[in-house]
Amino acid sequence: MINASLKELAAQLTAKKISSVELTGMYLDRIERLNPSLNAFITLDRDRSLAQAQAADALIATGKQGPLTGIPIAQKDIFCAQGWLTTCGSKMLSNFVAPYDAHVIEQFNHAGAINLGKTNMDEFAMGSSNETSFFGQVKNPWNIATVPGGSSGGSAAAVAARLAAAATGTDTGGSIRQPAALCGISGIKPTYGTVSRYGMIAFASSLDQGGPMARSAEDCAVLLNTMSGFDPRDSTSLERDKEDYTRDLDQPLAGLKIGLPKEYFAEGLSSDVAQAVEAALAEYRKLGAQTVEVSLPNSQLAIPVYYVLAPAEASSNLSRYDGVRYGYRAPEYDDLVDMYCKTRAQGFGAEVKRRIMIGAYVLSAGYYDAYYLKAQKLRRLIAQDFAEAFQQCDVILGPTAPTTAFNLGEKSDDPVSMYLSDIYTIAVNLAGLPGMSIPCGFSPNGMPIGLQIVGGYFSEAKMLNVAHQYQLATDWHTRTPKGI
């Protein structure tokens, strides 16, 4: 049952072979047994989850269920869920119980899905290893001495360890795709504006985007059908007709043109990742696809551009955490200014403070033009590179991350080395494009390797088709960690 697809679980529920209460209870029992060693979940509420499951069973009994009715989904702890502790992995929000639902949570509630719990994450989504969480580091189920990636590491670990049928994540610079690659699962970041950011705690507003994480591309398509949609409460939400992202899954790949950026296969890419990606490309050629070399000449600028723009937006977004209205407040202070200073000093972790300071610096008088304005201009050049590349190909393929999962603590004292973990993913966010990662092999020491698929704007259905056809021909996405 734990290896069943979402479609198979829905069929089992419809046929009354299992109830939602039984299914939810099974996952909660697994979480109780395995989470102490993985730390994938921050908050659980068995009674609340089982009550949702009972309501789902009642709906199934009427025959009015949907594709996700009764299926337990883990929610990244960046999405506000009414009555649930919503911490964003930070001491600053360690006592915050959300008074309303994020749009994504509303969509799942309307679909009859079960909120299985809130997953661990890098603090305020700032990190690539899930080591910055106030609630402790998450461990990779494939090897608990290694990181699961971040910031959606809790969601990735939960899906990989079969603690949830699927999970939600958010992606600001690769935070769905990189942990998906490191944990051997599938995850997609849709076109910016496809999934509403209402109720999704903000890191960098022009980059943040929610998306699904699951075992397979097919499961991601089912989830994205529910998560996407226009929301007037989010000014960046795109007013478009609702799509069925499963519609093209079974289309053949004959004639597909795959672009291979020469910059993605250069120095810095580990040999085991390169070999797995080359093997995946050979499989695509067998499926009828053609490969062409393309160039993204400004891709090497993505990391410096990102680490100007994202901290700038973060410094603005995180100014609201002052100890006045909600969240943590320093227990002792002399006056209002002292309360602000001590609350923020005590409530934020080191990585969040680092990015707030960088952001405040690049936005300050005298530095705005030199850093922030220049970064915005370079962002446009990066987007233009992709536009020119897509004139030669349908999708772009390459590695998701330059290496497999690294050891816990290995890069904690070297922020630049940590930032380079997202070297292949960040440009996609800067351009607002959709991107996804799927498993494409394992390193000699048994760690998962991810293949990144990037498409043009609103090409999610095509990307999911490209991923699904590969997964029909391979079994990398069906592998499970030992002991799971």
Catalytic residue positions, numbered: 76, 151, 175
Asked if 378 and 371 count as a contact pair (C-beta separation under 8 A), the reply is no
SS3 77: coil
Q: Give the orientation angle of helix 374-389 with respect to helix 302-317, to 10 degrees.
A: 130
Q: What Cα–Cα distance (Å) separates residue 392 from each residue in 259, 291, 389?
A: 7, 10, 6
Residue 291: how many CA atoms within 13 Å on its side-chain side? 16
By CB atoms closer than 10 A (0-12, 13-18, 19+), residue 476 is buried
Instruction: Name the strands in the sheet holding 41-43, side by side, starting at the edge strand that comes first in the sequence.
Output: 41-43, 114-119, 72-76, 166-170, 210-214, 186-189, 435-442, 448-455, 395-399, 257-261, 290-294
Handedness of CA 125, 312, 356, 385 (dihedral sign): positive
Residue 79 CA, distance from chain mean position: 12
DSSP conformation class of 421 = G
Helices H, strands E: what count in the chain?
15, 11
| Side chain identity at residue 88, one-letter code | C
d(CA 114, CA 137): 25
CA end-to-end distance (rounded Å), the chain = 13
